[in-house]
Amino acid sequence: MTMTTLGSDQSGDVSGTPSRRLDGPTRQVKRNIFPVPAPVLEAPPAKPIEAPFAYKKPKPPRRWKRAIIVTILALVLGVGGYFGMKLFLAARSIISRNTTGGAPALAGTVDPTKLKGEGDGRINILLLGIGGPGHDGPFLSDTIIVASIDPTTKEIAMLSLPRDMWIPIPGYGSSKINSACAYGESENYPGGCGALAKLAISKLLDLPIHYYIRADFDAFKQAVDSVGGINLTVAHALYDPEYPCDKNQGLACGYSQKAGATHMNGITALKYARCRKGNCDNDFGRAGRQQQVLLALRQQALSLDTLTNPAKISGLIDSVGDHVKTDMQLFEIERLAKIVKDIDASKVISKVLDTSPDGLLVDYSADSRGYIELPKSGNFSDIQEFAHSIFVDSYLKNEAANIDVQNGTQKNGLATTVGKMLKAYGYNITSMTTAADQNTATTVLYDYTGGKKPYTIKYLESRLNVKVKTATPVSGDPDIRIILGNDYKLPSTTN
Protein backbone atom coordinates (compact mmCIF):
# COMPACT_ATOMS: atom_id res chain seq x y z
CA MET A 1 0.00 0.00 0.00
CA THR A 2 1.19 3.45 -0.81
CA MET A 3 -0.18 6.20 1.38
CA THR A 4 1.12 9.52 0.19
CA THR A 5 0.08 12.92 1.41
CA LEU A 6 0.68 16.32 -0.02
CA GLY A 7 1.26 19.75 1.38
CA SER A 8 -0.23 23.04 0.35
CA ASP A 9 0.60 26.69 0.23
CA GLN A 10 -0.47 29.23 2.82
CA SER A 11 -1.02 32.85 1.87
CA GLY A 12 1.43 35.35 3.22
CA ASP A 13 1.15 39.04 3.99
CA VAL A 14 1.78 40.95 0.81
CA SER A 15 1.51 44.35 2.45
CA GLY A 16 4.86 43.89 4.21
CA THR A 17 7.49 41.26 4.64
CA PRO A 18 6.50 39.07 7.60
CA SER A 19 8.06 35.66 8.04
CA ARG A 20 6.55 32.38 9.17
CA ARG A 21 8.41 32.08 12.43
CA LEU A 22 8.31 28.34 12.76
CA ASP A 23 9.48 27.14 9.50
CA GLY A 24 11.42 29.19 7.00
CA PRO A 25 12.03 32.20 4.81
CA THR A 26 9.88 35.23 4.25
CA ARG A 27 7.23 34.56 1.63
CA GLN A 28 7.67 36.60 -1.54
CA VAL A 29 4.84 38.67 -2.96
CA LYS A 30 2.80 37.23 -5.79
CA ARG A 31 2.51 40.01 -8.34
CA ASN A 32 -1.19 39.72 -9.00
CA ILE A 33 -2.50 39.23 -5.45
CA PHE A 34 -4.29 41.95 -3.48
CA PRO A 35 -2.84 42.68 -0.02
CA VAL A 36 -4.23 40.38 2.65
CA PRO A 37 -3.07 40.45 6.28
CA ALA A 38 -1.24 37.26 7.22
CA PRO A 39 -2.42 35.06 10.10
CA VAL A 40 -0.11 35.41 13.08
CA LEU A 41 0.72 32.33 15.12
CA GLU A 42 1.37 32.62 18.80
CA ALA A 43 5.09 32.37 19.44
CA PRO A 44 5.93 29.27 21.47
CA PRO A 45 7.18 29.84 25.01
CA ALA A 46 10.89 29.49 25.60
CA LYS A 47 10.25 26.27 27.50
CA PRO A 48 7.39 23.80 27.03
CA ILE A 49 4.45 24.43 29.33
CA GLU A 50 4.18 20.73 29.87
CA ALA A 51 7.27 18.59 30.10
CA PRO A 52 7.34 16.20 27.16
CA PHE A 53 7.43 12.56 28.01
CA ALA A 54 10.80 10.97 28.50
CA TYR A 55 12.12 9.07 25.57
CA LYS A 56 14.32 6.07 26.15
CA LYS A 57 15.61 4.02 23.29
CA PRO A 58 15.02 0.38 24.15
CA LYS A 59 16.68 -2.57 22.56
CA PRO A 60 14.45 -3.84 19.74
CA PRO A 61 12.78 -7.14 20.60
CA ARG A 62 13.94 -10.16 18.68
CA ARG A 63 10.54 -10.77 17.14
CA TRP A 64 10.80 -7.29 15.50
CA LYS A 65 14.07 -8.36 13.89
CA ARG A 66 12.56 -11.63 12.74
CA ALA A 67 9.60 -9.77 11.23
CA ILE A 68 11.92 -7.53 9.22
CA ILE A 69 13.86 -10.57 7.98
CA VAL A 70 10.64 -12.32 6.95
CA THR A 71 9.44 -9.18 5.20
CA ILE A 72 12.69 -8.81 3.28
CA LEU A 73 12.66 -12.50 2.26
CA ALA A 74 9.10 -12.15 1.05
CA LEU A 75 10.06 -9.12 -1.01
CA VAL A 76 13.12 -10.88 -2.40
CA LEU A 77 11.04 -13.87 -3.44
CA GLY A 78 8.30 -11.65 -4.82
CA VAL A 79 10.10 -8.97 -6.81
CA GLY A 80 13.76 -9.97 -6.87
CA GLY A 81 16.72 -9.50 -4.57
CA TYR A 82 17.70 -6.11 -5.91
CA PHE A 83 14.32 -4.56 -5.24
CA GLY A 84 13.93 -6.27 -1.87
CA MET A 85 17.27 -4.93 -0.67
CA LYS A 86 16.51 -1.53 -2.18
CA LEU A 87 13.27 -1.31 -0.18
CA PHE A 88 15.08 -2.38 2.98
CA LEU A 89 17.71 0.34 2.58
CA ALA A 90 15.05 2.96 1.84
CA ALA A 91 13.07 1.83 4.88
CA ARG A 92 16.03 2.38 7.16
CA SER A 93 16.03 6.07 6.23
CA ILE A 94 12.28 6.71 6.45
CA ILE A 95 11.18 4.63 9.45
CA SER A 96 11.55 5.97 12.97
CA ARG A 97 10.69 4.40 16.30
CA ASN A 98 7.06 4.65 17.32
CA THR A 99 7.10 6.53 20.63
CA THR A 100 3.43 5.89 21.46
CA GLY A 101 2.88 2.27 20.45
CA GLY A 102 1.32 0.76 17.33
CA ALA A 103 -2.12 -0.61 16.51
CA PRO A 104 -3.05 -3.81 18.40
CA ALA A 105 -4.79 -4.98 15.21
CA LEU A 106 -1.42 -5.19 13.43
CA ALA A 107 0.23 -7.05 16.29
CA GLY A 108 -1.89 -10.18 15.93
CA THR A 109 -4.92 -11.23 17.97
CA VAL A 110 -6.57 -8.23 19.61
CA ASP A 111 -6.57 -8.67 23.39
CA PRO A 112 -9.36 -6.56 24.95
CA THR A 113 -7.30 -6.01 28.08
CA LYS A 114 -4.64 -4.23 26.01
CA LEU A 115 -6.94 -1.74 24.30
CA LYS A 116 -6.67 1.90 25.37
CA GLY A 117 -10.17 3.02 24.44
CA GLU A 118 -12.81 3.33 21.75
CA GLY A 119 -11.22 3.20 18.31
CA ASP A 120 -8.10 1.34 19.48
CA GLY A 121 -9.35 -1.76 17.69
CA ARG A 122 -8.99 0.09 14.38
CA ILE A 123 -5.78 1.16 12.63
CA ASN A 124 -5.58 4.96 12.85
CA ILE A 125 -3.00 6.75 10.71
CA LEU A 126 -2.26 10.48 10.62
CA LEU A 127 -1.32 11.64 7.11
CA LEU A 128 0.69 14.87 7.06
CA GLY A 129 1.53 16.81 3.91
CA ILE A 130 4.33 19.39 4.00
CA GLY A 131 6.04 21.56 1.41
CA GLY A 132 9.49 20.23 2.26
CA PRO A 133 12.91 21.75 1.54
CA GLY A 134 12.89 24.73 -0.80
CA HIS A 135 9.33 25.77 0.05
CA ASP A 136 7.95 28.41 2.38
CA GLY A 137 7.15 26.82 5.73
CA PRO A 138 8.74 23.45 4.95
CA PHE A 139 7.31 21.77 8.07
CA LEU A 140 3.85 23.33 8.25
CA SER A 141 1.52 20.39 7.63
CA ASP A 142 -1.07 22.04 5.44
CA THR A 143 -2.59 18.67 4.60
CA ILE A 144 -3.91 16.80 7.65
CA ILE A 145 -5.97 13.64 7.19
CA VAL A 146 -6.83 10.94 9.70
CA ALA A 147 -7.24 7.64 7.84
CA SER A 148 -8.80 4.87 9.90
CA ILE A 149 -9.04 1.24 8.79
CA ASP A 150 -11.32 -1.37 10.33
CA PRO A 151 -9.46 -4.69 9.89
CA THR A 152 -12.55 -6.79 10.61
CA THR A 153 -15.02 -5.17 8.21
CA LYS A 154 -12.37 -4.09 5.66
CA GLU A 155 -13.68 -0.52 5.70
CA ILE A 156 -11.75 2.74 5.66
CA ALA A 157 -12.81 6.23 6.73
CA MET A 158 -10.94 9.49 6.17
CA LEU A 159 -11.41 12.79 7.99
CA SER A 160 -9.67 15.96 6.75
CA LEU A 161 -8.85 18.66 9.29
CA PRO A 162 -8.39 22.25 8.03
CA ARG A 163 -4.92 23.75 8.54
CA ASP A 164 -6.26 26.96 10.19
CA MET A 165 -8.18 25.17 12.95
CA TRP A 166 -7.14 26.57 16.34
CA ILE A 167 -6.35 23.81 18.86
CA PRO A 168 -4.28 23.18 22.02
CA ILE A 169 -0.83 21.78 21.23
CA PRO A 170 0.45 19.94 24.34
CA GLY A 171 3.43 21.77 25.78
CA TYR A 172 3.16 24.75 23.42
CA GLY A 173 -0.09 26.55 24.24
CA SER A 174 -2.66 26.91 21.46
CA SER A 175 -1.99 27.50 17.79
CA LYS A 176 -3.11 26.56 14.30
CA ILE A 177 -3.25 22.82 13.90
CA ASN A 178 -0.70 22.84 11.06
CA SER A 179 2.01 24.22 13.38
CA ALA A 180 2.13 21.06 15.53
CA CYS A 181 4.47 19.40 13.03
CA ALA A 182 6.66 22.53 12.83
CA TYR A 183 6.94 22.77 16.63
CA GLY A 184 7.89 19.10 16.74
CA GLU A 185 10.82 19.75 14.41
CA SER A 186 12.00 23.17 15.60
CA GLU A 187 11.75 22.34 19.31
CA ASN A 188 13.38 18.90 18.99
CA TYR A 189 10.33 17.21 20.49
CA PRO A 190 10.92 13.47 21.16
CA GLY A 191 9.81 11.78 17.95
CA GLY A 192 9.74 15.11 16.09
CA CYS A 193 6.96 16.40 13.85
CA GLY A 194 4.95 13.20 13.70
CA ALA A 195 4.97 12.43 17.42
CA LEU A 196 3.75 15.88 18.49
CA ALA A 197 1.14 16.05 15.73
CA LYS A 198 -0.14 12.59 16.73
CA LEU A 199 -0.47 13.66 20.36
CA ALA A 200 -2.26 16.94 19.56
CA ILE A 201 -4.75 15.38 17.15
CA SER A 202 -5.33 12.35 19.37
CA LYS A 203 -6.40 14.72 22.17
CA LEU A 204 -8.43 16.83 19.74
CA LEU A 205 -10.47 13.86 18.49
CA ASP A 206 -10.33 11.80 21.72
CA LEU A 207 -9.07 8.95 19.55
CA PRO A 208 -5.88 6.83 19.64
CA ILE A 209 -3.58 7.74 16.72
CA HIS A 210 -1.27 4.79 16.10
CA TYR A 211 0.96 6.00 13.28
CA TYR A 212 1.91 8.97 11.16
CA ILE A 213 3.09 9.22 7.56
CA ARG A 214 4.62 12.53 6.51
CA ALA A 215 5.36 13.32 2.87
CA ASP A 216 6.38 16.40 0.90
CA PHE A 217 5.52 17.69 -2.58
CA ASP A 218 8.36 15.83 -4.28
CA ALA A 219 7.34 12.49 -2.77
CA PHE A 220 3.80 12.99 -4.01
CA LYS A 221 4.78 13.88 -7.57
CA GLN A 222 7.30 11.07 -7.84
CA ALA A 223 4.90 8.51 -6.39
CA VAL A 224 2.19 9.40 -8.93
CA ASP A 225 4.65 9.32 -11.82
CA SER A 226 6.22 6.03 -10.70
CA VAL A 227 2.88 4.22 -11.05
CA GLY A 228 2.22 5.73 -14.47
CA GLY A 229 -0.15 8.46 -13.28
CA ILE A 230 -3.64 8.25 -11.82
CA ASN A 231 -7.15 8.19 -13.24
CA LEU A 232 -9.95 10.21 -11.69
CA THR A 233 -13.06 12.22 -12.52
CA VAL A 234 -13.06 15.99 -12.04
CA ALA A 235 -16.50 17.02 -10.77
CA HIS A 236 -16.43 20.55 -12.22
CA ALA A 237 -14.01 22.75 -14.15
CA LEU A 238 -11.40 24.41 -11.95
CA TYR A 239 -9.62 27.73 -12.34
CA ASP A 240 -7.18 29.27 -9.86
CA PRO A 241 -5.57 32.46 -11.27
CA GLU A 242 -3.27 32.76 -8.24
CA TYR A 243 -1.74 29.29 -8.33
CA PRO A 244 2.05 29.66 -7.88
CA CYS A 245 4.57 28.93 -10.61
CA ASP A 246 6.42 25.62 -10.42
CA LYS A 247 9.88 27.18 -10.29
CA ASN A 248 9.04 30.42 -8.50
CA GLN A 249 6.51 30.19 -5.68
CA GLY A 250 6.49 34.00 -5.42
CA LEU A 251 4.86 34.37 -8.84
CA ALA A 252 1.36 33.37 -9.92
CA CYS A 253 1.11 31.29 -13.10
CA GLY A 254 -2.47 30.10 -12.61
CA TYR A 255 -4.05 26.68 -13.00
CA SER A 256 -7.05 25.34 -14.89
CA GLN A 257 -8.58 21.89 -15.26
CA LYS A 258 -11.49 20.70 -17.39
CA ALA A 259 -14.31 18.66 -15.89
CA GLY A 260 -14.70 14.96 -16.60
CA ALA A 261 -12.62 11.79 -16.57
CA THR A 262 -8.90 12.43 -16.92
CA HIS A 263 -5.45 10.93 -16.49
CA MET A 264 -2.97 12.98 -14.44
CA ASN A 265 0.78 12.87 -14.02
CA GLY A 266 2.51 13.91 -10.79
CA ILE A 267 2.72 17.64 -11.52
CA THR A 268 -0.91 17.90 -12.65
CA ALA A 269 -2.18 15.79 -9.74
CA LEU A 270 -0.33 18.04 -7.28
CA LYS A 271 -1.90 21.17 -8.80
CA TYR A 272 -5.33 19.54 -8.72
CA ALA A 273 -4.93 18.72 -5.03
CA ARG A 274 -3.35 22.05 -4.01
CA CYS A 275 -5.46 24.69 -5.76
CA ARG A 276 -7.76 26.55 -3.36
CA LYS A 277 -8.52 29.96 -4.86
CA GLY A 278 -10.63 31.00 -7.82
CA ASN A 279 -13.41 28.40 -8.01
CA CYS A 280 -11.37 25.66 -6.30
CA ASP A 281 -13.60 25.89 -3.21
CA ASN A 282 -10.97 27.07 -0.70
CA ASP A 283 -9.25 24.78 1.83
CA PHE A 284 -12.32 22.60 2.27
CA GLY A 285 -12.74 21.88 -1.44
CA ARG A 286 -9.14 20.92 -1.85
CA ALA A 287 -9.32 18.69 1.24
CA GLY A 288 -11.94 16.62 -0.56
CA ARG A 289 -9.81 16.49 -3.72
CA GLN A 290 -6.79 15.38 -1.69
CA GLN A 291 -8.76 12.41 -0.42
CA GLN A 292 -9.86 11.65 -4.00
CA VAL A 293 -6.25 11.73 -5.20
CA LEU A 294 -5.08 9.46 -2.38
CA LEU A 295 -7.72 6.87 -3.24
CA ALA A 296 -6.82 7.04 -6.93
CA LEU A 297 -3.14 6.61 -6.07
CA ARG A 298 -3.94 3.65 -3.83
CA GLN A 299 -5.98 2.04 -6.60
CA GLN A 300 -3.18 2.45 -9.11
CA ALA A 301 -0.45 1.32 -6.70
CA LEU A 302 -2.41 -1.83 -5.81
CA SER A 303 -3.30 -2.66 -9.40
CA LEU A 304 -1.80 -5.76 -10.95
CA ASP A 305 0.16 -3.65 -13.38
CA THR A 306 1.99 -1.90 -10.54
CA LEU A 307 2.56 -4.83 -8.20
CA THR A 308 4.08 -6.99 -10.94
CA ASN A 309 6.19 -4.28 -12.54
CA PRO A 310 9.69 -4.08 -11.00
CA ALA A 311 10.37 -0.74 -12.69
CA LYS A 312 7.34 0.85 -11.01
CA ILE A 313 8.20 -0.71 -7.66
CA SER A 314 11.71 0.71 -8.01
CA GLY A 315 10.25 4.13 -8.80
CA LEU A 316 8.06 4.02 -5.72
CA ILE A 317 11.07 3.17 -3.59
CA ASP A 318 13.11 6.01 -5.10
CA SER A 319 10.32 8.49 -4.37
CA VAL A 320 10.20 7.88 -0.62
CA GLY A 321 13.80 7.83 0.59
CA ASP A 322 14.38 11.52 1.28
CA HIS A 323 10.82 12.78 1.20
CA VAL A 324 8.77 10.50 3.48
CA LYS A 325 8.91 9.77 7.21
CA THR A 326 6.80 7.33 9.21
CA ASP A 327 6.80 5.45 12.52
CA MET A 328 5.11 2.40 11.00
CA GLN A 329 7.53 -0.52 11.05
CA LEU A 330 8.22 -2.82 8.10
CA PHE A 331 6.24 -5.77 9.46
CA GLU A 332 3.28 -3.44 10.16
CA ILE A 333 3.44 -2.03 6.64
CA GLU A 334 3.38 -5.57 5.25
CA ARG A 335 0.37 -6.56 7.37
CA LEU A 336 -1.46 -3.33 6.59
CA ALA A 337 -0.90 -3.85 2.84
CA LYS A 338 -2.61 -7.24 3.05
CA ILE A 339 -5.63 -5.63 4.72
CA VAL A 340 -5.88 -2.57 2.48
CA LYS A 341 -5.64 -4.44 -0.82
CA ASP A 342 -8.95 -6.16 -0.06
CA ILE A 343 -10.87 -2.97 0.80
CA ASP A 344 -13.81 -2.26 -1.48
CA ALA A 345 -13.67 1.32 -2.79
CA SER A 346 -17.44 1.59 -2.21
CA LYS A 347 -16.82 1.17 1.52
CA VAL A 348 -14.59 4.24 1.81
CA ILE A 349 -16.06 7.07 3.91
CA SER A 350 -14.66 10.56 3.18
CA LYS A 351 -15.46 13.52 5.43
CA VAL A 352 -14.11 17.07 5.82
CA LEU A 353 -14.48 19.38 8.83
CA ASP A 354 -15.65 22.70 7.39
CA THR A 355 -17.51 25.96 8.01
CA SER A 356 -20.59 25.17 5.89
CA PRO A 357 -24.05 25.83 7.39
CA ASP A 358 -24.12 22.22 8.59
CA GLY A 359 -20.42 22.16 9.45
CA LEU A 360 -18.87 21.98 12.90
CA LEU A 361 -16.52 24.96 12.49
CA VAL A 362 -16.90 28.73 12.19
CA ASP A 363 -14.59 31.36 10.71
CA TYR A 364 -12.98 33.81 13.11
CA SER A 365 -10.61 36.73 12.43
CA ALA A 366 -11.27 39.32 15.14
CA ASP A 367 -7.94 39.29 16.99
CA SER A 368 -4.17 38.93 16.62
CA ARG A 369 -4.45 35.23 15.72
CA GLY A 370 -5.48 36.26 12.21
CA TYR A 371 -7.82 34.02 10.22
CA ILE A 372 -8.63 30.83 12.13
CA GLU A 373 -11.42 28.30 12.47
CA LEU A 374 -13.06 27.51 15.81
CA PRO A 375 -15.57 24.84 16.87
CA LYS A 376 -19.10 26.11 16.37
CA SER A 377 -20.28 24.70 19.71
CA GLY A 378 -17.55 26.50 21.65
CA ASN A 379 -15.70 23.27 22.49
CA PHE A 380 -14.56 20.11 20.73
CA SER A 381 -17.27 17.72 22.00
CA ASP A 382 -19.28 17.77 18.75
CA ILE A 383 -16.12 17.20 16.72
CA GLN A 384 -15.10 14.26 18.91
CA GLU A 385 -18.54 12.70 18.63
CA PHE A 386 -18.51 13.18 14.86
CA ALA A 387 -15.09 11.53 14.55
CA HIS A 388 -16.21 8.50 16.55
CA SER A 389 -19.41 8.25 14.51
CA ILE A 390 -17.37 7.56 11.36
CA PHE A 391 -14.50 5.68 13.04
CA VAL A 392 -16.81 3.01 14.42
CA ASP A 393 -15.21 0.41 16.69
CA SER A 394 -16.40 -2.99 15.41
CA TYR A 395 -15.61 -4.77 18.67
CA LEU A 396 -17.93 -2.38 20.49
CA LYS A 397 -20.58 -2.57 17.79
CA ASN A 398 -20.59 -6.36 17.62
CA GLU A 399 -20.99 -6.79 21.38
CA ALA A 400 -23.97 -4.38 21.37
CA ALA A 401 -24.19 -4.48 25.16
CA ASN A 402 -27.35 -2.93 26.62
CA ILE A 403 -26.16 -0.11 28.86
CA ASP A 404 -28.09 1.85 31.47
CA VAL A 405 -26.65 5.23 32.54
CA GLN A 406 -27.84 6.62 35.88
CA ASN A 407 -27.17 10.00 37.47
CA GLY A 408 -26.11 9.45 41.07
CA THR A 409 -25.51 13.16 41.66
CA GLN A 410 -27.56 16.34 41.90
CA LYS A 411 -26.09 17.71 38.67
CA ASN A 412 -29.09 18.14 36.41
CA GLY A 413 -28.92 16.28 33.10
CA LEU A 414 -25.62 14.48 33.77
CA ALA A 415 -26.93 11.04 32.73
CA THR A 416 -28.32 12.49 29.50
CA THR A 417 -25.10 14.32 28.70
CA VAL A 418 -22.92 11.27 29.30
CA GLY A 419 -25.36 8.90 27.63
CA LYS A 420 -25.48 11.07 24.49
CA MET A 421 -21.69 11.14 24.32
CA LEU A 422 -21.38 7.38 24.79
CA LYS A 423 -24.03 6.73 22.15
CA ALA A 424 -22.09 8.88 19.67
CA TYR A 425 -18.98 6.84 20.48
CA GLY A 426 -20.78 3.63 19.48
CA TYR A 427 -22.19 2.36 22.78
CA ASN A 428 -25.69 0.87 22.86
CA ILE A 429 -27.29 3.13 25.46
CA THR A 430 -30.77 1.84 26.30
CA SER A 431 -31.73 4.17 29.16
CA MET A 432 -30.61 7.38 30.90
CA THR A 433 -32.23 7.85 34.30
CA THR A 434 -31.80 9.23 37.82
CA ALA A 435 -30.32 6.87 40.39
CA ALA A 436 -32.13 6.09 43.66
CA ASP A 437 -29.18 7.57 45.59
CA GLN A 438 -28.35 11.07 44.32
CA ASN A 439 -25.41 11.48 46.63
CA THR A 440 -23.18 8.72 45.20
CA ALA A 441 -19.57 9.55 46.04
CA THR A 442 -17.77 7.54 43.36
CA THR A 443 -18.77 6.31 39.91
CA VAL A 444 -19.66 2.60 39.75
CA LEU A 445 -19.61 0.23 36.76
CA TYR A 446 -21.65 -2.98 37.08
CA ASP A 447 -21.38 -6.01 34.77
CA TYR A 448 -24.40 -8.33 34.73
CA THR A 449 -23.10 -10.60 31.93
CA GLY A 450 -20.36 -12.47 33.76
CA GLY A 451 -17.67 -11.00 31.54
CA LYS A 452 -19.35 -11.78 28.21
CA LYS A 453 -18.86 -8.21 26.90
CA PRO A 454 -15.09 -7.83 27.41
CA TYR A 455 -14.42 -5.05 24.90
CA THR A 456 -17.27 -2.85 26.13
CA ILE A 457 -16.22 -3.36 29.73
CA LYS A 458 -12.57 -2.57 29.01
CA TYR A 459 -13.45 0.61 27.12
CA LEU A 460 -15.77 1.82 29.89
CA GLU A 461 -13.18 1.07 32.58
CA SER A 462 -10.72 3.23 30.67
CA ARG A 463 -13.19 6.04 29.98
CA LEU A 464 -14.65 6.20 33.48
CA ASN A 465 -11.38 5.41 35.26
CA VAL A 466 -13.01 2.70 37.37
CA LYS A 467 -12.80 -1.06 37.82
CA VAL A 468 -15.86 -3.08 36.90
CA LYS A 469 -17.88 -4.85 39.58
CA THR A 470 -19.59 -8.14 38.81
CA ALA A 471 -23.26 -8.23 39.81
CA THR A 472 -25.98 -10.90 39.75
CA PRO A 473 -28.70 -9.92 37.29
CA VAL A 474 -32.38 -9.88 38.12
CA SER A 475 -35.27 -9.51 35.74
CA GLY A 476 -35.07 -6.24 33.83
CA ASP A 477 -31.39 -5.56 34.46
CA PRO A 478 -29.27 -4.40 31.50
CA ASP A 479 -25.97 -5.97 30.47
CA ILE A 480 -24.05 -3.10 32.02
CA ARG A 481 -25.04 -0.28 34.37
CA ILE A 482 -23.16 2.96 35.00
CA ILE A 483 -23.95 4.99 38.11
CA LEU A 484 -22.26 8.38 37.82
CA GLY A 485 -20.88 9.69 41.10
CA ASN A 486 -19.80 13.09 42.37
CA ASP A 487 -16.23 12.26 41.31
CA TYR A 488 -17.14 12.06 37.63
CA LYS A 489 -15.74 14.82 35.42
CA LEU A 490 -16.66 15.31 31.80
CA PRO A 491 -13.72 15.03 29.38
CA SER A 492 -11.96 18.32 28.63
CA THR A 493 -13.19 19.67 25.30
CA THR A 494 -12.12 23.30 25.53
CA ASN A 495 -10.33 25.17 22.77
Looking at mean pLDDT, say which of 125-134, 205-214, 310-319 comes out highest. 205-214
Nearest-angstrom CA–CA distance, 140 and 176: 10
Per-residue confidence (pLDDT) for residue 366, from 0 to 100: 80
Answer yes or no: is pLDDT of 318 > 50.
yes
Q: Tell me if the pTM is above 0.95.
A: no
Predicted confidence (pLDDT) per residue in 266-281, tens digit: 999 999 988 888 988 8
Which residue from 381, 392, 452 is spatially nearest to 427, judged by alpha carbons? 392
Q: Provide the pLDDT for residue 3.
A: 42
SS3 assignment for 388-442: HHHCCCHHHHHHCCEEEEEECCCCCCHHHHHHHHHHHCCCEEEEEEECCCCCCCC
Q: What are the pLDDT digits (tens) for 47-101?
A: 444 433 333 444 444 443 333 333 333 333 344 444 555 556 566 678 888 988 8
Long-range contacts of residues 256-261, Cβ cutoff 8 Å, at least 24 apart: 258/234, 259/234, 259/235, 260/233, 260/234, 261/231, 261/232, 261/233, 261/234
Confidence of residue 298 (pLDDT cuts 50, 70, 90): confident
**pLDDT tier at 319, thresholds 50, 70, 90:** low
Query: pLDDT of 449-464, one tens digit each?
Result: 999 999 999 999 999 9
The pLDDT, as a whole number, for residue 288 is: 87
pLDDT greater than 60 at residue 380: yes
User: What is the mean pLDDT of the segment spanning 332-361?
Assistant: 86
Query: Which pLDDT score is estimated for 395?
Result: 93
Which pLDDT score is estimated for 315? 60
With cut-offs at 50, 70 and 90, classify the pLDDT of residue 311: low
Q: How far is CA 456 from CA 296, 382, 401, 426, in A?
A: 36, 22, 7, 10
pLDDT digits (tens, 9 = 90+) for 329-345: 878 887 887 888 778 87
